[in-house]
Structure formats: C-alpha cells, structure tokens
Amino acid sequence: MGGDTLRLATWNVNSIRTRVGRVTDWLARADVDVLAMQETKCTDAQFPMLPFVELGYEVAHVGLNQWNGVAIASRVGLDEVQIGFADQPRWASKPDVDPVAEARAVGATCAGVRVWSLYVPNGRTLADPHYRYKLDWLAALRRCATDWHADAPDTPLALAGDWNIAPTDDDVWDMAVFDGATHVSEPERAAFAAFTDAGFTDVVRPFTPGPGVYTYWDYTQLRFPKRQGMRIDFILGSPAFQARVTHAEIVREERKGKSPSDHAPVLVELRRP
C-alpha cells in the first residue's frame, strides 16, 4: 500500500454476499488500493461491510434490492461520494410500477483520482424497451462525463465497470453467435465510441491486445474452458488518468476455482502525483 503507485481495479462480482471471501482474498493478494464493484445484488443494509473494514477499506455502496448494485472500496480515501448522475434515465420493472433510477452508478474521489463504478444496462434484446433505456443511459452518462472532464481537466477520471458492450468484433469469441443480438449492435458500439470522442481512452487494451482477450465467460456450455468469452468490462480514463497508467491486466485466473464470478477483475496501475 502507498508508495509511488496506485492500484485500481473493476470487477463485476455477481453477488457480493456469495463471493465476499473471494473478493477480499484477491484484494489482499493483489495489493489493490481501490476496487469498483458491480452487480453486488444486495441492499445497502445487506452489504457485507465488516470483511472490507477489517482489511482497511472504506466502502461506498448503493443497492436497492437483489438486482444491480454498485460499490467502491478504497483504502486510500473515499471522498465526495455521489450516487447516480444528472438526468440518469429511470426504469420500471413492470408497467404499473413507477420508474426509478436504478443502482448502477456511484462515484468517489480516492487519493485524488475520481472513480466511477458503473453497471451499464444489459439491453436484453434489440426489440426490448430495455435496449432503448440502455442507449439513453449511455448518452446521459457521456454528457455528464464530458462535463466532469471539462470542469476539472487536471483531475484523473476513471469510468470503470461492466459496460455490457463488446466494442469490436475481436471482443467476442464468434460474431456469428451474436448476429442480431445486443452488446454488438452498431448503436451500442457508437454509444461506446462516443466516450472516445469525448476524450476518454480504454487504458487497458494497449496492455492486453486481442483478439481472444476477454473479461466475461457465461457459466453455461463450458464457455470458460473453451475460451468462448467477451470483453465487456472496461476502465475508460480521461487524459489526466491515462497519462499516469503504467500497467494494466485482465486477471483471468480469478474466473477459475470455486464459485467464481462470471467476470474477471480488470486492473490498472497508476503513478501517483
């Protein structure tokens, strides 16, 4: 901990109550300073805070029910916590239920770095209303991220999480399998590319070039041992963030073993100012 580097990671943990032991064990082994988590799948009251506290981490979590949920765990400070972003689109699970801003975004400043943990909506199918919700959600996030960067261009800013988009054909194991599906459609890829146009960079890809380099493998049909995955987890950095990145990796080994998440952690190392 400390020194001249900051180690920051993102991980869709697919239920923190199920995998808290795996997560905290990896945090200790990998010497991670800040972890953005997605799909915690619990309310704030249900989040297993104690194991993180015992390791020296503060945690900002937002969870409304057994779905979604995002968090940031930091052992280098956790300041200016923000739940959601301006004009974040709302979603209703049923026609007779009022739309709400789901637990999909939380931001905090950690050792001078502004970190956002993001769980982008899945989209389900191209004909589902959830697909339009996904595109609207991404557009609203891009507008906010552009403003955040413009307001504080010298502050390193990381948009980290499960983006539920494979930006290139190399980011899926077989494009034919995804013909007519979400995650690879042109509108989704254009929405992802809009962040690049706004000045953000995929800071991990230069250290983990593809094809065949993935962050997610479905539990079914032996997708992981067959290396049939997708690259959908990213850390997009502002220019001030990108300038400090010295190393990045996808920690594929954490997809192995007992009761893994279906995602692997994505880790970057930064020079401290």
pLDDT category of residue 95 using cuts at 50, 70 and 90: confident
- Encoding tokens for residue 156? 């390193």
pLDDT at 48: 98
Q: Is the pLDDT of residue 273 over 90?
A: no
pLDDT of residue 234: 98
Peptide bond preceding 206 in cis form (omega within 30 of 0)? no
Residue set of the binding site for Mg(2+): 12, 39, 162, 164, 262-263
Who wins on pLDDT, 246 or 3?
246
Element (H, E) at 8: strand 5-12
Range 58-69 average pLDDT: 96
- Which of 33, 61, 119, 216 does the annotation list as catalytic? 119
- pLDDT score recorded for residue 272: 87
CB 23 within 8 A of CB 37: yes
Name the band, by pLDDT with cuts 50, 70 and 90, for residue 166.
very high
Q: Which of 40, 57, 44 is nearest to 110 (CA)?
A: 57
Q: Per-residue pLDDT averaged across 27-37, rounded? A: 98
Element of type H or E holding 79:
strand 79-83
Q: Is the pLDDT of residue 1 over 80?
A: no
Cα–Cα dist 244/267, whole Å: 14
Phi, psi of 204 (to 5 degrees): -90, -35
162 tagged catalytic: yes
- E strands of 168-250, at which residues? 201-202, 233-237, 245-250
Indicate the average pLDDT of the chain: 97
Q: CA of 131: how far to CAs of 52, 97, 105, 185, 273, in Å? A: 35, 19, 18, 10, 40
| Known binding-site residue numbers | 12, 39, 162, 164, 262-263
Which of 33, 162, 202, 233 is catalytic? The answer is: 162
As a whole number, mean pLDDT of residues 92-98 equals 87
Q: Is 243 left (phi over 0), alpha (psi -120 to 50) or beta?
A: alpha
pTM equals: 0.97
Q: Mark whether 263 is an active-site residue.
A: yes
List the CATH code of the domain at 5-271.
3.60.10.10
For 127-155, the pLDDT digits (tens) are 999 999 999 999 999 999 999 999 999 99
User: Using CA atoms, how far apart are residues 240 and 110, in angstroms rounded to an integer?
Assistant: 15
Per-residue tokens: 75: 């052992």
Q: What percent of the chain has pLDDT over 90?
A: 96
